[in-house]
A and B are shown apart, each in its own frame.
Chain A
Amino acid sequence: MNMPTILVCDDEPHILHVVASKLRNAGFTVVTAEDGREGLDAAREHRPDLILTDYQMPELSGLELCARLRGDPQLAEIPVIMLTARGFAPEISGADGSNIREVLTKPFSPREVLQRVQATLGIGAVPGD
């Protein structure tokens, strides 16, 4: 079966690990990156079906990453779910964040992440879960 690939970017190793773990256990192929630049490179290389990224990251912030993605026609359509520790993120809205589908505030639960990923990709539980 064609298992969707998900790119997860976060500079916090624990969070990266736990999200990746959850998604892998749910049957997704997961690629990880520890900062915005790595994330951009990984996106170009792996062409994921969805990108999960933290807001505040070194090198390139989550928002900047999204902007770069939009700038690349091959990556502009990839849906992005933003993870942020801010209470609200007013900048993430409107035309500037057109590829951002969801915003999840920390602390979030991995279950919630999985649900949102599935919802965004328009799929139910992946077989093999």
Chain B
Amino acid sequence: MTPTEIKPWSATDANDEFGAPDFGASDEMHSPVVQPVAAPEGWRAALKRLQVGPRWALLPLCLSLAIEIRSIQAPSLTASAGWSVLTICLQLATAGFLAVSLWSQRQQMREMIINVHRRQDRSGAGGFPSAESPTPAGLEPLERELWTHLERLDGAVGRGRDEGVEFGYRLASGEAKNLLAVLDQVSEAVLVVDAFERVSAANAAASDMLRCTPAQALRTALPEAVREESLAERISAMHRQPLGARRSLEYVIGERTNELTVCKIAAHAGRTGIMEASARDKEEGHLLVALMRDISREKDAAKSAGNFVSHVAHELRTPLTSLKAYVELLVDGEAEDERTRRQYYEIIQSETDRAARLIDNILNIARIESGRVRVSKKPVALAEIVREAVDVMRPQAEAKSIDLRHQPAPVIHQVMADRDMAYEAVLNLVSNAVKYTPNGGRVDVRIIVNEQDRTITAEVADTGVGIPAADLPHMFEKFFRVKANKDVAKGTGLGLNLVRNIVETVHGGRVGLASEPGKGSTFSITLNLI
């Protein structure tokens, strides 16, 4: 709030009667009592000099009164017309003198007021005409009164103004405090530095960047406030940039990677500016705003996404290598006999399938994780799905002389599920069981219903190689393969991850695992009954 110059009279310069160079003309606007006869300039000045006062009117008045009294006492003496004319003239003169004296008084008042005004107006607006004469002695007390009053008024106005400013300041600084409180809630670190390298503002999150508390950092020089010299340097480098410039870079503090953004903005000059420091620098009107955001998680996520991609690529190269190699052998005629050739063809086929499965698994997992998978859930009997999966795996189990047992369950128990996905999950478990069970082993597939919890569990127990305890927590992770069992069977390392995604992410169920190395494993899927 900029204080405005308050004039004692509320008229503006343009319409102010004191601005009018011609006294006579404005008289007519402001004197309701008497309308003096407009006299030419010279006459007015002469009249003023004469100091025509009310006293002047007394003489002709007395004279005419005397004539009137005389005519009452001796009517014959004043009977002639001459005496009447004289009387009239005398009365006219009385009126005239009265009028002039009134006018004159008014002029004097105006002169006095101009004087007062000129005294009051130190800055001396050029428009004020100079008083043509000093204040008449009779008006001096009035002038003094007026002047005192004006000074008091001025004082009051000044105080009012100051209070207004202070109020405005408190209001603004209240606002400033509010804003800072808001900034304290921002999780990004905010550090403001003025053109003189002093910390202008720092929010709570900025304590990561500082050596001291944000409150202590205020008005401290940047290099002293900030934790690391390199940080101070990077921020200071922005001083030389043009207004509006903004730079971002990665800045590591300890184990956390941060994104440091520094911008140069124009500062708001003004006494009631929020940043006290900046209010004083009117010459260098800029502020540096340093923001710091922890991007460790983003980087980790990006890294793990990058890892996933490179892992996938890596996994795909393996079947491709086999394919390329065996095809080349065949093309070069290096398969000596039909049996070898048949063997090579089969390898090519299985590796192709492996690559295709890998791609399918990856896509499915990626779709589920990104929520882009099309799920169509319907009431489905889990028992049916299990039966199907067992039927499909039966030939492979028989080829390994594995006893694949399946306990049929009533189809009455249903779950709300996407049929294909549920099938995929169950098939994965049964297939793993068969894969990782040596010849002559056993795989039991059961369905367990829990009426109390309203859940249904499909359990696949094998007498296979089992899983070491240390590996159990990682079994459902992407690409995880148990080292100890890598010779037992080929795997993409994604099957169980897909199962978990299907069961837990898509259907809100649970996967379970128990295992003992050398004895076997039991995997389970639990879903909610409808």
At the interface with chain B, which of A15-23, A41-49, A91-99? A15-23
Closest Cβ of chain A: how far from B68's Cβ, in Å? 133
A1-28 interface with B by 8 A CB criterion: 11-12, 14-15, 18-19, 21-22, 25
A86-129 interface code vs B (CB 8 A; 1 in, 0 out):
11000000000000000000111111000000000000000000
> Range of interface residues on chain B?
20 to 34
In angstroms, Cα B309 to Cα A86, docked, is: 12
Chain A residue contacts of B334, Cβ below 8 A: 21-22, 25
| Contact pick for A106, options B317, B328, B483, CB 8 Å | B317
In angstroms, Cα B318 to Cα A109, docked, is: 13
Contact indicator B329/A107 (Cβ below 8 Å): no
Contact indicator A85/B486 (Cβ below 8 Å): no
Chain B residue contacts of A18, Cβ below 8 A: 322, 325-326, 329
Contact indicator A14/B347 (Cβ below 8 Å): yes
CB contact under 8 A between A110 and B329, given known A14-B347, A25-B334: yes
B445-487 interface with A by 8 A CB criterion: 483, 486-487
Contact indicator A86/B326 (Cβ below 8 Å): no
| Contact pick for B314, options A14, A58, A86, CB 8 Å | A86
Closest Cβ of chain A: how far from B271's Cβ, in Å? 60
| Contact pick for B323, options A19, A22, A107, CB 8 Å | A107
In angstroms, Cα B483 to Cα A110, docked, is: 28
Closest Cβ of chain B: how far from A83's Cβ, in Å? 9
- A34 beta carbon closer than 8 Å to chain B: yes
Contact indicator A111/B483 (Cβ below 8 Å): no
In angstroms, Cα B313 to Cα A56, docked, is: 14
Chain B residue contacts of A12, Cβ below 8 A: 318, 321-322
Chain B residue contacts of A21, Cβ below 8 A: 329, 334
Contact indicator B324/A34 (Cβ below 8 Å): no
Closest Cβ of chain B: how far from A10's Cβ, in Å? 9
16 other A-B residue contacts (CB within 8 Å) besides A85-B314, A107-B321, A108-B321: A14-B322, A15-B318, A19-B325, A21-B334, A22-B329, A58-B483, A85-B318, A85-B321, A86-B310, A87-B313, A106-B317, A106-B318, A106-B320, A107-B324, A110-B328, A111-B328
Which 7 pairs, one residue from A and one from B, show the smallest C-beta to C-beta distance?
A107-B321, A85-B317, A18-B325, A14-B322, A106-B321, A107-B324, A107-B320
| A interface residues with partner B (beta carbon < 8 Å) | 11-12, 14-15, 18-19, 21-22, 25, 34, 56, 58, 85-87, 106-111
